[in-house]
Structure 1
Amino acid sequence: MGVSPSTPRALPEPVRAALERRTGSVLVDTEHLAAVRARFDDDQAAALTRYLRASQSPNTLRAYRSDWIAWSAWCAAEGRQALPADPLDVAVYLAAAAEERRPARAGETGPTRWAFSPATLERKAAALAAVHAANGLPSPTRADVVRLTLRGIRRTRRSRPHRKRPVLLHTLEELLAQRPEAGWPGEPARRRDALLLLVGFAGALRRSEVAGLTLDDVVVHVDPSTNEPVLLVDLAVTKTDPSGVRQQRVVLPRGARPHTCPVCAFAAWVELLEIHTERGGPGLREHVAQGAGAERSVHRCHGFEGTWLADGQARPLFPVINRHGGVGARAMSGPAVAELVKRYAQRAGLDPDLFGGHSLRAGFATQAALGGASDREIMRQGRWSNPRTVHRYIRVANPLDDNAVTKLGL
């Protein structure tokens, strides 16, 4: 009987540890790296490894590492060769993974569910291709037997895509209303979360893009035509540009109302970060205790061109904050951004399972379409290159726009 592709989770610790050591460099197999070091000096081999690691985002590397360990363990159990891989072995591995089932989660129908979605299986294939490419080997996933297997899995497991519900403007205001009370210890999270929700929504950002922002990425610019401040947000690395070759910039203008103004939210958050930098946690607490968290009925961004702590150290714009109000040095993760949206949705009486990190980006496109924005305008802000992607959101917003059925006279 074959070994399940999920078996690596239950492997004896020495076996799993050996596999993890072998895949420690993620893309370059350690045995292959030893051969590289035999041909080149240590500095050259180290440079190769460093730049191969930099070719993918940290999230992608983590996923590929897990996928490669699972594949290596399956090969070890089945007596197959992991690198270079035989295309037929890869096809059998993917087919076995597609058949695997796990106990259903709470709320799901039936006793079991599929262990891996078609998208996850395609990622597993991509991981094998990436490791082979990094080791200078032809990819086994280009073989017809692998491509046809993945096509068959997609056709057999065809289902409606599960999309998160968009956060529209009225929903965004509901979420903003759920922030902690002004004062200590909730004030730091109150200001950070307001900025995160507004920047994620107005900037049409992915959760990974939100999590990856640093203070150096944001510039306050006064528009000479209106004499009003705007935020210029630079995205160094995005899903569609992982190498950062085309640095993309998102412009966030001043909002009509103070509580939905991204520039005001940025000014409020930076004020706390400056106090925290200059006086530490005790100074920040004293500052908040003096009533600094009171809501303002007027814009606080007028004339705001002050320091925003851009010092080249790539400090996170959205750091972790503990329940005592302590501001950490580490950035929030992408999943933490999604959990934040879910948490606020639940506080607002909404079903948290319907919302996630993508809800902010989807909400921008849908709300912009409702407001009459053109395809080009939506695509530019959201950095979409395929109009079909945007049209999905527009159909949700205005399903009868440009619909010939309305001309039938029914």
Structure 2
Amino acid sequence: MTATITRPRRTSREWSLFQDWCSAADVVPMPATAETIAEFFREVPATGSTRNRQLQAIRRAHREAGLHLPLPTPEPRTPWRTGPGWLDLGTTLRRAPLSGWPSGLAARRDMFLVVLAGECGLSREGARSVAAGDVVQDACGSWSIGRHPIPRTPDAGSCPSCAVARWMKVLEIWDSRGRYSVREHVAGYRPDGEHECLEPAVHEGISAHTLLPGIDKYGWLADWEPMTARSISAVLAYRQDAAQWPRDPAPFEAVDVPERTDFQRTSMQDLTEMLDDLDDMVSAALRASEAVMKEVAASAK
């Protein structure tokens, strides 16, 4: 004897939409399979609240009909955006301003995040969980994150591997030499068109417990607290917004600077010797002053 499927007592707008989609896709709405529901969710975009109402309507219809509803396994959503108005991976990387402080610092971190989301396809939580040990450079200079190989493009500006290498270098400098050295490195950065991803990795053993720290407006890493899921979405939306970054940055042109003889063009060794000479002159002046004071004191007796 064949079981009879009872129609749901109430027909909601969400259930009607699901029925219409099933009719167009030539699948039955009841009993729905997990694959059918997952395909419906992929083909019919909706906000989180609307998606919940749709699922509740499908579940209620099956419950009223006395049917079991197999739910699809949720897939982590990537915060990476595609379509009109959003920059693709290479363009996002190429248009990032990597010089200046603290804008260049934030851009380097953000471009690492761009690679995690746009190339690796990681969700927000997946990006937050990447550790230094997950980022590897092999003997040939090729990079990978987890088991995902990171490509190297002909153009260094849009190269995902270079974006990874740049941020790893910043974290290593911060860990070994501190914020001032990072500021000096970033603020004076001048791209030369060479692939930085081919330089040997230096980030192994760094103590950073997150690779996506929050950065305040002064360039401090906010006590190494990781970016929130909301800030990850906001940063990616900002970096991918074609209206924010309508054109590639102007190419850097080297300017010949005449040689200078003052301390701004000296080496650290030269500067140390100059300071030693200054200390010697100050010491000699103090000794001469003490001698004069003694003579004055002696003549006053």
Q: TM-score, structure 1 length as denominator?
A: 0.39
The equivalent position to 1:119 in structure 2, one of 52, 64, 68, is: 52
Distance 1:219 1:178 in 2: 25
User: Are 2:141 and 1:229 equivalent residues in the alignment?
Assistant: yes
Aligned to 2:63: 144
Q: CA deviation at 1:177?
A: 4.5
Q: CA deviation at 1:215?
A: 1.5
CA contact under 8 A between 2:141 and 2:198: conserved in structure 1? yes
Distance 1:187 1:174 in 2: 17
Distance 2:108 2:48 in 1: 39
User: Are 2:141 and 1:208 equivalent residues in the alignment?
Assistant: no
Q: Which deviates more, 167-176 or 301-310?
A: 167-176
**Mapping of residues 11-410 of structure 1, within 5 Å:** 116-119=49-52, 122=55, 144-145=63-64, 165-166=82-83, 171-180=88-97, 182-222=99-139, 228-234=140-146, 249-289=147-187, 291=188, 293-310=189-206, 315-328=209-222, 329-346=224-241, 348-349=242-243
In structure 2, relative to structure 1, the CA distance for the partners of 1:147 and 1:187 (3 Å cut) is farther
Q: CA RMSD in A?
A: 4.4
Distance 2:84 2:206 in 1: 30
Q: Secondary structure at the match of 2:197?
A: coil
Structure 2 residue runs of 5 or longer lacking an equivalent are 1-10, 16-45, 71-79, 246-301
Letter in 1 for 2:182: L
Distance 1:205 1:114 in 2: 20
CA contact under 8 A between 1:267 and 1:304: conserved in structure 2? no
Q: CA deviation at 1:299?
A: 0.8
CA contact under 8 A between 2:86 and 2:240: conserved in structure 1? no
Q: Secondary structure at the match of 1:321?
A: coil
Q: CA deviation at 1:287?
A: 3.4
Q: CA deviation at 1:149?
A: 11
CA contact under 8 A between 1:198 and 1:261: conserved in structure 2? no
Distance 2:47 2:196 in 1: 51
CA contact under 8 A between 1:255 and 1:261: conserved in structure 2? yes
Q: CA deviation at 1:297?
A: 0.5
Distance 1:327 1:285 in 2: 12
Aligned to 2:73: none
In structure 2, relative to structure 1, the CA distance for the partners of 1:148 and 1:165 (3 Å cut) is farther
CA contact under 8 A between 1:220 and 1:305: conserved in structure 2? yes
Structure 1 residue runs of 5 or longer lacking an equivalent are 1-94, 100-112, 127-140, 152-162, 223-227, 235-248, 352-410
Q: Relative contact order (C-alpha < 8 Å, sep 6+): which is higher?
A: 2
Distance 1:180 1:287 in 2: 14
Q: CA deviation at 1:178?
A: 4.2
Q: CA deviation at 1:147?
A: 7.7
Letter in 2 for 1:327: L
In structure 2, relative to structure 1, the CA distance for the partners of 1:214 and 1:310 (3 Å cut) is same
Q: Secondary structure at the match of 2:225?
A: strand
Instruction: Count how many residue pairs are aligned between Structure 1 and Structure 2.
Output: 197
Aligned to 1:361: none
CA contact under 8 A between 2:125 and 2:229: conserved in structure 1? yes
Letter in 2 for 1:260: S
Q: CA deviation at 1:182?
A: 0.8
CA contact under 8 A between 1:195 and 1:265: conserved in structure 2? yes
Q: Secondary structure at the match of 1:272?
A: helix
Greater fraction strand: 1
CA contact under 8 A between 2:169 and 2:202: conserved in structure 1? no
Q: CA deviation at 1:120?
A: 5.9
Distance 1:167 1:209 in 2: 26
Distance 2:121 2:47 in 1: 31
In structure 2, relative to structure 1, the CA distance for the partners of 1:254 and 1:284 (3 Å cut) is same
CA contact under 8 A between 2:91 and 2:158: conserved in structure 1? no
CA contact under 8 A between 2:112 and 2:167: conserved in structure 1? yes
Larger Rg: 2
In structure 2, relative to structure 1, the CA distance for the partners of 1:278 and 1:306 (3 Å cut) is closer
Aligned to 1:13: none
Aligned-residue identity in percent: 24
Distance 1:114 1:177 in 2: 31
Letter in 2 for 1:213: V
CA contact under 8 A between 1:221 and 1:305: conserved in structure 2? no
Distance 1:202 1:194 in 2: 11
Distance 2:135 2:118 in 1: 16
Cα displacement string for residues 265-302 of structure 1 (whole angstroms, at most 9, x for unaligned residues): 2221122112211233233223334x2x2223011122
Q: Secondary structure at the match of 2:142?
A: strand
